[in-house]
Amino acid sequence: MKSRIPLSIAIAAATLVTACAQQRPATTMKEAARDRFLIGTALNEGQIWGRDTAGVRVVRENFNAIVAENCMKSEAIHPERDRYSFDSADRLVEFGQENGLTVTGHTLIWHSQLPRWFVYNDDGSLRSADELKAIMKEHITAVVGRYKGRIKGWDVVNEAIMEDGSYRRSPFYEILGEEFIPLAFQYAHEADPDAELYYNDYNMWFEGKRNAVVKLIGELRERGLRIDAVGMQSHMGMSHPDFAEYEKSIEAFAAAGVKVMVTEFDMSALPTAYVGADIAAGNAEASQALNPYADSLPAEAYEAWHKRMEQALSIMLRHSDDITRVTFWGVSDGDSWLNNFPVRGRTDYALPFGRDHRAKPIVARFIEMCAEKQNNE
């Protein structure tokens, strides 16, 4: 005879298990922010191919969203007109699927890390408008189409607008004018009608850029084109942005009817660098001033960084109804592009995980901030 657990007891047990799970305090940013936004990171080749085992462990434990730091950019994925190079991108998407992570595609149309053939003829002249349209369509259809249903959304156009609100004089703009943006959104939507589509840019706290992006959202919508979110890269430092301006931009984009994503978050702990002749000439005093923490970050400098991170994160939490994802640009400090930008060979401390892959105190603080917010609701 089969022994059966009475339904009422089974339900009670299930309820208890769920309640306990809910009460267990979160130990990672992704758990703490679970009901608010995704917590993402950008993967480099070492992580994509599993060589960086410590980095991969940090990704699996702490993040629920990933994006390619470089391997989906046009120069990497489409090096020649009739040659695509999908290996790393395929592996990244697989890694995301194996680990239940939300995958974002970065990026389809960008003036940087763009192969010359894309916009120039062999003789160095700019391609014609018709040729460029055909190339954009081929590229977008192939790349978006390949990952249809597996990539949640795409940074369709990256960095097309300047701080003063004017259009960047990129080859795309030179050839097609403003029209290249709606065309890119149209091709991406045709390639995967279910994929979310984003406009992504840096320095989004500038009033001119903010207004121009709001206008762009309106224009795309007027033409019946899909745009789901605006990506605010959010490369920050100790003296930028002005947080009030940053917050105004989140509010402006949300009011324009799209979601907001923090797509490339990092906070440089180093002095903002204006690269001058001194550095080029190898002036030791100048390099020391620009790379002051080559060995380690002193406690006071960490404190100052922590405070600015806390301010930035609290703005993001305050707007969590509109923000759907917060992605850090790199896994650990050692991986950050800021070690080489805008000055090569510096030692920066811009991410929540240090070179030793350990969580900095800002991680625990963020978890606490999420709990505080929950308690106040």
**Cα dihedral across residues 104, 109, 110, 115: positive or negative:** positive
Q: Is 115 in the site for ligand XIL (CB under 6 A)?
A: no
Q: Is 52 in the site for ligand XIL (CB under 6 A)?
A: no
Site for ligand XIL in 152-171 (CB under 6 A): 158
Nearer to ligand XIL, 233 or 249 (CB): 233
Q: Taking Cα atoms as reference points, which of 105, 110, 179 lies closest to residue 144? A: 105
Q: Is 69 in the site for ligand XIL (CB under 6 A)?
A: yes
Q: Is 234 in the site for ligand XIL (CB under 6 A)?
A: no
Q: Is 348 in the site for ligand XIL (CB under 6 A)?
A: no
Nearer to ligand XIL, 55 or 370 (CB): 55
Nearer to ligand XIL, 28 or 70 (CB): 70
Closest approach of ligand XIL to the CB of residue 367, in Å:
26
Return the amino acid letter for 62: N
* Backbone angles phi and psi of 331, in degrees to 5: -90, -55
**Of 27, 28, 70, 314, the one binding ligand XIL by CB under 6 A:** 70
Q: Is 240 in the site for ligand XIL (CB under 6 A)?
A: no
Q: DSSP states of 222-255 as a string?
A: HTT----EEEE--EE-SS---HHHHHHHHHHHHH
Closest approach of ligand XIL to the CB of residue 260, in Å:
16
- Residue 202 in 3-state DSSP? coil
Q: Is 283 in the site for ligand XIL (CB under 6 A)?
A: no
Site for ligand XIL in 290-319 (CB under 6 A): none
Q: Is 264 a catalytic residue?
A: yes
Six token digits for residue 35: 């009901």
Return the amino acid letter for 202: Y
The CB-nearest residue to ligand XIL is 337
What is the size of the binding site for ligand XIL (CB under 6 A)? 7
Catalytic residue, chosen from 61, 247, 264, 285, is 264
Catalytic residue, chosen from 159, 163, 207, 247, is 159
Q: Is 233 in the site for ligand XIL (CB under 6 A)?
A: yes
Nearer to ligand XIL, 49 or 202 (CB): 202
Closest approach of ligand XIL to the CB of residue 2, in Å:
59
Closest approach of ligand XIL to the CB of residue 158, in Å:
5
**Is residue 347 a contact partner of residue 293, using CB atoms and an 8 Å limit?**
yes
Helices (H), the chain: 7-23, 29-32, 45-48, 53-62, 74-77, 87-98, 116-119, 129-146, 171-176, 180-191, 207-222, 243-255, 277-280, 284-290, 299-318, 361-376
Taking CA atoms, 249 is separated from 107, 228, 259, 261, in Å, by 22, 16, 12, 12
Closest approach of ligand XIL to the CB of residue 70, in Å:
5
Angstrom distance (rounded) from CA 156 to CA 173: 15
Q: Is 251 a catalytic residue?
A: no
Taking CA atoms, 335 is separated from 55, 302, 348, 351, in Å, by 9, 18, 10, 9
Return the amino acid letter for 260: V
In sequence order, what are the beta bridge partners of 67? 42, 104
Q: Is 196 in the site for ligand XIL (CB under 6 A)?
A: no
Residue 144's Cβ-side half-sphere holds a number of Cα atoms within 13 Å equal to 28
In sequence order, what are the beta bridge partners of 134? none
Q: Is 111 in the site for ligand XIL (CB under 6 A)?
A: no
Give the active site residues: 159, 264
Residues making contact with ligand XIL (CB under 6 A):
69-70, 158, 202, 233, 264, 337
